[in-house]
Amino acid sequence: MDTIYIERAVADHERTQRIVARYPSARCIPIERFGDVFNAPAQNFRTQKQAPALLLAQKHGRRVLPTPPAYHIGGKHNFYFSHMLNCVYDCRYCFLQGMYRSANHVVFVNFESFFDDIVTECSRHTEPSWYFSGYDCDSLALDPITGFVDSCLDHFQTIPNACLELRTKSTQIRPLLKRDAMNNVVVAYSLSPEPVIAAEEHGTPSLAQRLEALSKLQTQGWRVGLRFDPILQADNFEALYGSFFQQVFDSIDMQAVHSVSLGTFRLPKSFHKRIVKLYPEARLLATELEQQDNMLSYPAEVESYMMDFCKTRLHQVIRPDQYFPTRPA
Amino acid sequence: MPPTTCLVTALSSEARPLIEHYSLSRQTWSGRQLYANENCLLLQTGIGKLNAAAATGALLQAMPDIDSIINIGVAGGKDPKGSIVLATTIVDAGSGKRWYPHLPPVRCLPGALSRAVRTLDEPNMAYQAGSVFDMEAAGIFTAATARMDLSRVHSLKVISDTPGQPFTELNKKEIPGLIKLLIGSLDALMLHLQQSNHGPHASPTEHSTSCLNILFDELIQQCHHTTSDRHTLHRLLQRYQAIAGSLPDSRLVSRAATAASLRRQLQAEICAKPLIY
């Protein structure tokens, strides 16, 4: 990190001080509100992505939000929260590229405010409620800097009717391995075939590394989830995803997996347009997509075939109650 | 290829050492003070943010190939005289508007201090820690960011006046010597801008873009294309290039008699290209 923007309101926050101390040669720039930098016009997402700045800020307003209807893994009450905005990885299919003007990383250092809101939300429900971290960021990738996982797990330990999903592609699992597994936490990995990772998921750990991390977590008793989303269309689709699933099945105890979700590539139309402007040469964005409502996705018959193929493979090794399609099959 | 970086100064005493150092020669352009060599331009705008905005805006309108602007000049501040300052924030003191340039890595300009640059309408002696004064940067940023993004516009200053030696005591003959102090940092900044424009993560190469544009221009001459047709055709060519790794054979696609048939042909060819991971 070369540049750290710090909201004046959190300049003295203990977490701010700790993060800044990790980067003694970084230039620290005081700001009033992170939005002044993050939402400014005339930014170049693509350039920033190569050397993003870090913004340390306080999250105001609603911190815990309901998830979209299909975004769940079996719970009745589902919410997401984002202690960070943006991701260290550079996946060409990621909606964040189309959502934000900036590729800089925002860390909201007031984790405790999120946790307070989660407790408040929990108290509204008699059944367990689910909280998804990793919707607007990778839950683990920046953990050595933020220390989010320890804070979050300490908190979730005290509210057993709240369940947490940490969604990631990262192998930064040390804070998880250092502690006892928790029954109300699912560590969910986004997985793709290695050729897809190489072509579209720039800067991410390889499939083998992710599977190794998953295996370690499973061995230590952590509940893990597998997220096959987005599935990408290819002319070698069957061979690509057939061997990929086999590699996953050979590495993980599939019966012990908490949940498996599946979805094909899709993007809101406006996001797709913005991402095409950023990466006109991207092969993934050049494929044939159709518009359904405001979403662009593969033609219905293609999507249906892809979902059926994957579902059939998955159902050979998992139970129906483990399966959560994010797109109807 | 015309130069794509433009240095912008207010005063002739700021411009002169740069003109000498980079061997720039005077250009004839709209009565403005413009200098150039094969690598860069220098625009001298005159004092004040309005002059700076007007001259920068006019230049960018006339020369749209310019893709980066570096404001060079003297500034007042609490840091020692001769300190080099890279602007982290530009503040228009009049309107309160701010700009945050996307800064190069610290290692690029090791000697430069990181400071906010406050653009004032009148000279001022209320020097503040953490920021420096100038009279042009906000004008230059106003004009430049209308045409380019914040990673391509920077302001590099040298401290000329301080609380101990305020601007009223500044001998203008000192300015060229002060500007010479920042030439090393300026070279580093220009190199960074050049590399970030052509590095491995830069946008599609000029070559591939220009090949696509040549074919596009050729095809739209063949038959009538509405504005919407042109946008669609351009994107179809980009998609073709992305999937096939090359452009379609111009002899084949140029046989299409209408814009619609050309699009259909390209669409069919794109769908027929294998997509293998």
Helices (H), chain A: 14-21, 34-38, 45-50, 96-99, 111-122, 143-146, 148-156, 174-177, 194-200, 207-219, 237-251, 269-278, 283-286, 300-315
Cα gap A132→A11, rounded to integer Å: 28
Handedness of CA B67, B73, B78, B79 (dihedral sign): positive
Q: How confident is the model at residue A327 (pLDDT cuts 50, 70, 90)?
A: low
Per-residue pLDDT at B155: 98
Residues of B with CB under 8 A from a CB of A: 88-89, 98-100, 102-103, 105-106, 114, 116, 130, 145-146, 148-152, 196, 199, 201, 203-204, 208, 235, 238-243, 270-271, 274-277
**Best CA proximity match to A104, nearest among A65, A148, A150, A142:** A142
**Best CA proximity match to A58, nearest among A112, A127, A4:** A112
Name the strand (E) or helix (H) holding B201: none
Least confident span in A220-234, B88-102, B110-124, B246-260: B246-260
Per-residue pLDDT at A117: 97
Pairwise CB contact (< 8 Å): B88 & A236: no
Per-residue pLDDT at B252: 74
Per-residue pLDDT at B205: 66
Average pLDDT, chain B: 93
How far apart, in Å, are the Cα atoms of B276 and each of A16, A174, A299, B108? 46, 36, 18, 40
CB B94 within 8 A of CB B121: yes
**B198 pLDDT above the threshold of 70:** no
Q: Does this complex have an ipTM over 0.90? A: yes
Chain B positions in Cβ-Cβ contact with residue A26 (cut-off 8 Å): 106
* Interface-testing mutation among A2, A4, A27, with chain B (most B C-beta atoms within 10 A): A27
Cα gap A321→B4, rounded to integer Å: 60
Q: Which two tokens stand for residue B200?
A: 């491995």
Name the percent of chain B lying above pLDDT 90. Answer: 86
Cα gap A214→A223, rounded to integer Å: 10
Chain A positions in Cβ-Cβ contact with residue B150 (cut-off 8 Å): 40, 42-44
Count contacts between A and B (CB, < 8 Å).
Answer: 99
Per-residue pLDDT at B250: 82
Q: What is the pLDDT of residues B201-240, one digit of tens each?
A: 566 666 778 899 999 999 999 889 999 999 999 999 999 9
Cα gap B42→B45, rounded to integer Å: 10
In three state form, how does the secondary structure of B225-240 look? CCHHHHHHHHHHHHHH
Chain B positions in Cβ-Cβ contact with residue A50 (cut-off 8 Å): 196, 199, 201
What pTM does this model have? Answer: 0.94
Q: DSSP character for A153?
A: H
Q: Mean per-residue pLDDT for A283-299?
A: 94
Average pLDDT, chain A: 96
Q: How confident is the model at residue B256 (pLDDT cuts 50, 70, 90)?
A: confident
Q: How confident is the model at residue A70 (pLDDT cuts 50, 70, 90)?
A: confident
Q: How many residues are recorded in chain A?
A: 329
**Best CA proximity match to A218, nearest among A190, A186, A244, A247:** A186
Q: What is the pLDDT of residues A10-46, one digit of tens each?
A: 999 999 999 999 999 999 999 999 999 999 999 999 9
Per-residue pLDDT at A329: 47
Dihedral over alpha carbons A133, A135, A141, A145 (to 10 degrees):
-60
Chain A positions in Cβ-Cβ contact with residue B142 (cut-off 8 Å): none
CB B44 within 8 A of CB B130: no
Q: How confident is the model at residue B3 (pLDDT cuts 50, 70, 90)?
A: confident
Q: What is the pLDDT of residues A143-167, one digit of tens each?
A: 999 999 999 999 999 998 999 999 9
Q: DSSP character for A159?
A: -
Per-residue pLDDT at B157: 98
CB A7 within 8 A of CB A57: yes
Give B40's strand partners. B5
Q: What is the pLDDT of residues B139-196, one digit of tens each?
A: 999 999 999 999 999 999 999 999 999 999 999 999 999 999 999 999 999 999 998 8
